[in-house]
Amino acid sequence: MARQIFRTKTVRFRLITLIVVGLILTTAAWGWIQLRALDGILVDQQLKRLYDVAVTVNTYYQYFPTTQGLTALDLALREQVQSDGRLARIDIFSLTPSYVDYVAGAGRVSFEWSEKEVRSVGISRKPRHLKLSTEAGPALGLLYTSGWGEKPGRLVVVGAIVFSRTAEEILAQARRLLLFSTSGLLLVLLLILSLGYSRLIKGPLENIVKAIDDFQAGSYTRRIPLQRDDEWGYLSSHFNRMAEEIERVLEENRKLTDHLERRVQEATANVVELQKQVNRLQQLTAMGYLTATLAHDLGTPLHSIAGLAELLLEQREEWTADGVRKLELIVQQTRRLITIIKNLKEVTKLPEPFFEYLPVPTLLQETLSLFEPQLKRAGIKVALIVMDGVPPLYGDRDRLQTALFNLIQNSIEAMPQGGKIVVSAYTSPTSPMLALSVKDTGCGIPRELMERICEPFFSTHSEEGMRGLGLSIVRDIVKMHGGEMEIKSEQNKGCEVILYMPLPETGKFNPVNP
């Protein structure tokens, strides 16, 4: 970035160009004014000499004795010209209203005055000077009149010309001096500007650019080390304050990010733990149903077998020793099977419920968070609607989440091509109950299966797995909380399961032990 400072179309280049052009124009204008003034001074000096010559010649002509003739007048004029090396020519004119009469003249160069100019001076009675060009070089001419001549009705006009070569040489020398002095001044100014730019602009600018580059590269502790009271110091102080503010904000963002990461990790761990608890409770519930079924289906026959075997043992005398041994073995093994079934029931017994006040939005959001990956893969949209003023629910968190988990899982399985699930909570308008609803847009439940849908091990799905216990588990959990379950279904349009849970403040809360 710093290298770009030395490229052409930069601030340095433009600044120096602007200053140089301004100096050239200013110096040129000032030199032109000075040369004009010098030229005016030289012209004034020459005119003063011409006025003296013209007045002298005019006076001399006024009193010149006419008896001597024009030859004598020409000789006198020639002597006047020869006496002053700067004089180029002197001419005398006599004017009448109708014509201009040339009287006499002498000079080092030949020159013809314009009759129009001569007549104009005579009529206006005002002298006029002219810059002329002769064969001997530049010259300055003056037409002068002082009044009437020796004859009535005639005006005398004297024309005097002086060489201006010396003045031109002075002006040329002045121009050269001005050119050299201006060039030297420009070179000195350029040197001063270059040194001043390096110290006043380039150095501070490089420090600022370096700080910005380091800041952009991630070095947020970088500051501009400028302690100045000028504009650069003002800019540096503002940049440093901005950098401090950005560093402070970044540090706060870093702390906030770390805090959010910890919260996300904690929330993820909680979700994982919640998933484990729900799965464990669901497995225990399923095993409890299975164990209860086994105990019912196997317990009675085993007790009967054991009882009959014991009755046969009471008639030992009718049995051989081997028969008695076998009957005792039957009694022993049936008793062992009965004990195994009893122990299995104890192992699969659900933990005692822990009732607490649960915020309904939190309960629903925690449960839905368990299905986020599955819902995305299935292309199912979820809407959570909680009515304002819904009171907390008094119940067992794990069991209630298990019930909601089963309902949402059933809805997902009913929509293999995607759909929408609406989970809502509201107070029942017909009874002092809190309603938790899970509604989907799936295939629904056939009318003829509605009566059996809550039976254990009854399922509308043919896939392998632990089927037929979902709604049965939900029903038992709701009953344990003293609530009711309602199923609304329309085939090919969807299904809605509503859990009506009693509110403790109504006095109707009567949980049932599992």
In terms of domains, do 89 and 161 share one?
yes
Asked if residue 379 belongs to a domain, the reply is yes
Least confident of 66-70, 138-142, 380-384: 66-70
Residue 260, domain member (yes or no) = no
* Distance, first Cα to last Cα, the chain: 77
Answer yes or no: is 39 within a domain: yes
> In this structure, are 363 and 502 located in the same domain?
yes
* 244 found inside a domain: no
The whole-number average pLDDT for the span 442-464 is 63
Paired residues of 495 in beta bridges: 440, 489
Q: Which residues of 436-448 are buried (b: 16+ CB within 10 A; e: fewer)?
A: bbbbbbbbbbeee
Percent of the chain at pLDDT above 70? 77
Q: Is residue 108 part of a domain?
A: yes
Question: Does residue 259 lie in a domain region?
Answer: no
What pLDDT band is residue 465 in, cutting at 50, 70 and 90? very low
Check pLDDT > 80 for residue 350.
no
Give CA–CA dist 219/211, Å, rounded: 9
36 occurs within a structural domain: yes
Tell whether 364 and 284 lie within a shared domain: no
Tell me the pairing of strands 419-427 and 484-490.
Answer: unpaired
* 382 shares its domain with 314: no
Domain boundary, last residue among 173, 206, 240: 173
User: Which residues on adjacent β-strands are paired with residue 437?
Assistant: 424, 498
Cα 175 from Cα 202, distance rounded (Å): 37
Q: What domain range includes position 149?
A: 9-173
pLDDT score at 439: 94
Find the range with the poorest average confidence among 30-34, 67-71, 80-84: 67-71
Residue with tokens 């009149």: 145
**19 and 166 belong to one structural domain:** yes
Residue with the bigger pLDDT between 439 and 179: it is 439
Q: Do 164 and 21 fall into the same domain?
A: yes
User: According to the model, what pLDDT value does residue 4 have?
Assistant: 46
Greater model confidence, 179 or 496: 496
> Structural domain tally of the chain?
3
Tell me, yes or no, whether 342 and 364 share the same domain: no
Residues 14 and 160 in one domain: yes
Q: Is pLDDT at 98 greater than 50 in this prediction?
A: yes
Residue 168 has what pLDDT? 63
| Average of per-residue pLDDT across 243-261 | 84
Predicted confidence at residue 2, as pLDDT, reads 42
pLDDT-based confidence at 437, cuts 50/70/90? very high
Instruction: Read off the tokens for 248.
Output: 């402070």
Of 155, 173, 191, the position where a domain reaches its end is: 173
Q: Are residues 341 and 360 in the same domain?
A: no
Q: What's the CA gap between 139 and 90, in Å, rounded? A: 13
Query: Which of residues 117, 147, 173 is at a domain's end?
Result: 173
Shared domain check, 463 and 404: yes
Percent of the chain, pLDDT > 90? 10
Of 81-90, 174-183, 438-447, where does mean pLDDT reach its minimum?
A: 174-183
The reply to whether 432 and 299 lie within a common domain is no
| Among the ranges given (53-57, 244-248, 280-284, 407-411), the one the predictor scored with the smallest mean pLDDT | 280-284
Confirm whether 207 is domain-assigned: no
User: Which range has highest mean pLDDT (71-75, 120-124, 214-218)?
Assistant: 120-124
Does residue 383 sit in the same domain as residue 502? yes
We report the CATH number of the domain holding residue 376 as: 3.30.565.10
The per-residue pLDDT of the chain, averaged, comes to 77
Q: What distances in angstroms separate CA 46 from CA 158, 258, 315, one per listed residue?
A: 16, 95, 175
pLDDT in tens, 145-167: 876 555 555 678 888 877 776 65
Amino acid type, 70: L
Res 385 pLDDT > 90 = yes
Token duo for residue 220: 């947020």
Residue 252 has pLDDT above 70, yes or no: yes
* Domain CATH code at residue 102: 3.30.450.20
Predicted confidence (pLDDT) per residue in 185-217, tens digit: 778 877 887 777 777 777 777 777 887 787 777
Q: Rank 91-95, 188-192, 357-361 by mean pLDDT and report only the highest.
A: 357-361
- The pLDDT of residue 511 is above 70: no
Contact 270, 295 (CB under 8 A): no
